[in-house]
Amino acid sequence: MRVARWLSCFVLSGILGQSGGAWAQDDVPMPTLPGEELPQGGSVTTRAAHEAAMMPGFAALVERLLPAVVNISVSSVIHPDEQQPDGPDGSTPSGPQSSPFPPGSPLEKFFHDYLHRRHADGHPARQVQALGSGFIIDPSGVVVTNNHVIDNAQQVSVTLSDGTEYPARIVGRDSKEDLAVLQVKADRPLPSVPLGHSDDARIGDWVLAIGNPFGLSGTVTAGIISSRKRNVDHGLYDDFIQTDAAINHGNSGGPLFNLKGEVIGINTLIYGGSGGDSIGIGFAIPSDDARGIINQLRQTGHVRRGWLGVRYQDVTRNMAEDLDFWKADVPGKERGTGAIVAEVSKDGPARKAGLQVGDILTALNGQPVTGQTLPRLVAGYQPGETVHFTFWRRGSYQTLDLTLGRNPDEKDPLPSDTHPPEHPVKTLKELGVKLGVVDEAARTQYGLTDSQRGVLVMRVYEGSPAASRGLTEGNLVLQVGQQEVNTPEALQAALDRARELKRTDILLLVQDGEGLRWVAVPLGGQQPQP
């Protein structure tokens, strides 16, 4: 209210000043706000200075934070017939068809360069550049960003605020929480920022967003926390901070700071207009949710989440009334809240522990749960950990200890240099190639970048189907059809599926020194002996 009131007084005083009104005189006192006293000798000028002094200033804080916020440049592969995933605001990553900015303006150029990357039907697969944001959390060069920023990336580079650019290696990524950790090798300690405690943040607190919207590096926007614990049906683990700080394309992966200079959120989603532009509704992953994910990614390169083995629903007020379900500490006065079990998986951890259909889970390790918060809380623990549940059954509260399992539907993680697969080398006789993973030794030998992924062709046997199609040592196989491959085992599995479908050839996306090309390698025929 104080800001709006000061602005309205300023405009009104200017109008009256132009028409000779008395309010333009410096010696005319201004009325005070309720419960507020005007400084001694208060006038229009003094009052304006008083109001300005009470407004928050961010310059010193921004000067300290900017060096730790980075721009992320990604080289990815786009296919003509591939349906692109939704961008952070629900639009396609390549943006709208027309620019909202005046033709020839600098912003129109940024818009064109950043968003207009659509490809014509029938064109071959090609590499394109995209931009995002991130921040350094460790002076050794550990960078945090969104997974969707580096999704499908073949090369990733990080640019500091001073213009220094480094190639980046993907340490680990988690699509469910939309987080990724990168590593750059610098010849000096890099500026970093700490992760704060988002649970301490309150609605109405000031926050700063710093990032790379539309390619405009080092952009700072300010706002407040508009709400917390937002579920926008983006995923199973929704628990977003909502902010009105302006967030646009390119801000993804950037930090949301509190006034202590701590990262309390990772900017991830926006609700935008027709062009995906900011309308003051942005969402950030809370730092207290991200901290454990980031630690797992740094340690193991992937995330393991605990699995309960139940299907459940949020307990509505009508359900609570029908079941005569009350809170334990106020029986008969306040209806209970929790997650009611609708199905118990066979041989799952919940069944082994004795949970039944109709039980209402009310607390996990002393923390209250609902149908909305239960998946996120369970996911915060790893398979094999034992947790303590409080639950309601047929009129009484009970407790049990439960050892969480691993979700049988969870995919195996992608390999990384730090965490190679169990079998890094494999010979596929049917294709006539010897394959390996892209590790540190391969990068050195074949001059590959730190972020390149795929399956390395280590040898092509003479007279083989692969040799007949021009595959050579040092090529990378990135995809089989529309499926990415990163290990020899994954390529073998794709080959087995093609054989089951009685295909006559297998389509590979191959990268060599000239770029990308599709290669159809015939199946069957002569199988050379390695």
Looking at residue 496, its pLDDT comes to 86
- The radius of gyration of the chain from alpha carbons, rounded to an integer in Å, stands at 28
pTM of the model: 0.61
Give CA–CA dist 412/424, Å, rounded.
15
| Residue 69 tokens, joined | 């916020």
What pLDDT, on a 0 to 100 scale, did the predictor assign at position 48?
A: 57
User: How far is the C-alpha of 207 from the C-alpha of 194, rounded, in Å?
Assistant: 15
Q: What local confidence, expressed as pLDDT, does residue 346 receive?
A: 87
Give the pLDDT of residue 120: 41
Task: Determine whether 450 is an active site residue.
Answer: no
Q: Do 356 and 391 meet the contact criterion of CB atoms below 8 Å apart?
A: no
- pLDDT for 333 equals 77
Catalytic residue among 89, 174, 178, 289: 178
pLDDT average per 10 residues of sequence, the chain (530 residues): 31 34 39 48 56 72 94 70 40 38 51 46 54 93 93 84 90 87 92 92 94 88 90 71 90 94 92 68 90 87 86 90 86 84 90 93 91 82 91 93 83 52 79 86 75 85 90 90 83 86 88 85 60
Q: Six-digit token pair at 368?
A: 């209250």
423 carries an active-site annotation: no
Tens of pLDDT along 321-378? 899 998 887 766 788 899 999 999 888 999 999 999 999 999 999 989 988 788 878 8
- Helix or strand or coil: residue 283? strand
DSSP states of 408-421: TTPPPPPP-SSS--
* Alpha carbon distances (Å) from 138 to 89, 146, 190, 272: 30, 17, 8, 33
CA distances from 67 to 64, 237, 254, 290, 295 (A): 7, 31, 13, 22, 23
Q: Is 49 helix (H, G, I), strand (E, B) or coil?
A: helix
First-to-last C-alpha distance (Å) of the chain: 79
- The per-residue pLDDT for 422 is 62
Residue 178: active-site member: yes
According to the model, what pLDDT value does residue 472 have?
Answer: 92
Among the options 73, 99, 148, 288, which is catalytic?
Answer: 148
Distances (CA, A) of 167 to 36, 285, 442: 55, 26, 16
Model pLDDT, residue 87:
37
The pLDDT score that the predictor gives to residue 61 is: 93
- What pLDDT does residue 113 have? 52
Per-residue pLDDT tens for 26-38? 344 444 444 445 4
